[in-house]
Chain A
Amino acid sequence: MDSTTFSLFQIDIVTIFQHLINGLTLGGIYALIALGYTMVYGILKFINFAHGEILMVGTYFSLFLFNTLITGGKTGAVLFILFILALLFGMAISALLGVVIEIIAYKPLRKASRLAPLLSAIGVSIILSNSAAYFFGTRSRKFTYPLDNKPFNFFGLSITPVQLLTIFVCFFLMLGLKYFVDKTRIGRAMRASSENQNVASLMGVNVNKIISITFAIGSALAVTAGVLYALEYKVSPTMGTMTGLKAFIAAVVGGVGNISGAMLGGILLGILETFGTAVLGIPVGYKDTIAFGVLILILLLKPDGILGKNIKEKV
């Protein structure tokens, strides 16, 4: 037997690593979006269905600023710096949007039944995606590459600079967030609020402020993911829906409310999707079935996710 070939699928090891890189890129994007879901669920115990749409709106704003800035043709380092600027702009816009949405559509519902915020979030997501379609048009657009995207060869692997950028940015932000939540005062307040809001506020934590910060961070991370995603794919009013759903699945797979879980879930889902279609030979059309199948399977086998805690209802 050829040492570089797996007997099962007759695929050589280089191809496996190639898919792994591709899966990691996609997975990093899922993970960044999943963080927003998981942080919000941790504190407010509800699924922010509008998260994907916030991502979409922020990405549009990034795109618009970027396109305006690069008119006349920019190259090299200038182009890349303008891209970062546009990205930061999109992050700021969506952070603001996330905070405003929370205050208008979710905050009045904190004491309501669990159905109310869920439906309110669905309402917000309908408003955002249709507003985008109305104002920006349904035509999908593409980012100009902010850097020379010629793939380079790395031990036989073909890696594009955009992939490298995506993986780098995702991991940098994830580690940054982990540090922020684990080691800073605000991070500690966030953890306290997700354990018990009432007690946290008795201890002097301004829970409303913490919730706003959570929404701001979650939305900003999602836009980063959205822009990176748009570099490879497209910007459209519906881009947030399916990506958002998949990211939510990632959050559930890792264990909703658990930040490391969201990262793990995102990366696992990205790799599974890539391998499912590329290695196991599942037709590309059924890509979504893989993700949702994984979701249902996880919910059945370990409903609290891979890293989730098992919390039983007190009788």
Chain B
Amino acid sequence: MSNRALTLMMGFVAVLILAVGGVFVVILATGGSGDDDGGGSDRPSEGSTPGKSSSSGGICNGDKLITFGSDPASVLDPIQVRDEGTSEYVVEIFGGLVTLDLDLKVVPDIAKEWKVSDGGKTYTFKLRDDVVFHNSNRRVTANDFKYSIERAADPANGSPTVTLYLSNIVGIKERFSNKATDVSGINVIDETTLEIRVNQPSEYFLAELTYPVAFVVDKDQVQKNPRNWTQKPNGTGPFRLVEFTPAERIRLARNDRYHLGAAKVSEVVFELGGGSILTRYENNELHIGGVPGIELEAVKGGNSPLSKEYRPQPRMSVSYLAFNVRKPPFDDLKVRQAMAMSVDKERINQVLFFDSQRVADGILPPDMPGYTESVSAYAFNPDKAKQTLGESKYAGKMPRIVLTYAGQGGDAPDVLTAITAGWKEILGLDVELQASEYSAFLRELRRGTFQMFSAGWAADYPDPEDFIDKLFHSESVQNEQGYSNPEVDKILLQARSESNQQKRFALYAQAEQMILDDAAVIPDFWPVEHLLVKPCVKNWPSVSMNVPRYRYIEIAATEN
């Protein structure tokens, strides 16, 4: 359709809508008073009259950051948090002994220093004496930490993460299985000294303490209001929660007394409505916008004004295709190798993602401490792939192959369609794609039902152990591909207790290379989030995990 015709048509529709809209406004003005449910006085967006200029206008005048977020998947209780979307809020509201800085290094939060003794089995934390809870003037003491961690381990509270991250603390497992009434490994020496004993000396124990499940909560508040306290939680983080309306918004206000330096913006508003984030960003309703996949080319293109505001945000995660090595034909290494060698990731990235993803040449993402370029996955090599498949014991009598992914039906993700098309073209393999509803997918994944599946893994804490050991140790619950290599297990075991960081990383690199050589999985991409940031937002931190970051941001009206 020509532009002219389109304009005419849009104009026509516009006139019509306006006419009806006019009638409607009259109806609204006469009929609608009384109920004021959605439109309280406390709106984050003052002046609902939209600016008609196309400059960033009003949004850059205030000092409130308006961004988008997802509806929390659990309550805003540190011990219930289990997903990245929810932890984004929780790390801003609460705090723990230690935290991660923007370089993902473990740094002091409420603990100002600590020493490790007893061959790495005892941690003694010295707490700051100037940390107070948001809504009360009560100081945080060692007792609060003891209470908080014991609360996390109480099976009645059903924390989904406590034994995952804190099981190294002496007594956590016993408390969680109700064999003890307290956590014996936590001792309050005095108000500002806390001692934690661990079962095994571990290099990543401190990193585990940065996870929300180890955060401190206000005992008085929790006990007074066990069910609803999370609606106005009394934390110690850089922001306090002032509003949470499910499906609408979360508003965090600056904690002026924050002990590591108060935030520069007065408020951070997360719009939870989803919808047309990009259009709303363009309409100056949001400081931070997201770019849906299909708009990438348009946004990144040189002549789009948005291209200057585009910020790719690498995430510390990996997406991969996994073979169930217990099921034919994937019990044969040759089949796995052949399939790994016939995935043209570069071309898929070019065609489907406009070169905006990072092609994964290994399992550990580049943002991960201990990442090394020397590790590499099988390169795209169609000839070698064909040859390797020919050497397989399944050559010529290939069983049916089904690749399962978590999805809601409809068309399969383009990436998977492209990859299976490649296998067909290069190897002549017919790989069927099968969608499975998410919770059923998870259940069957655990049972090892799938022959082959598409999955992803995001870092819980920045340590290679979280990827290499969790996903590939033969006894790990997350090793759904059933991969088992005694050599790899041996190296992983060694790494768990190696105290020299460089040696430990080298061990993980060695294990990672062996896993890739065994073609246990085909890592395809290290995902990137596509963001837009208004020019007036200064110091937007680029960080690949959910760490407290909003306190660094500043809004400064620019000349633009």
A, B bound: no
Chain B residues near A (Cβ < 8 Å): none
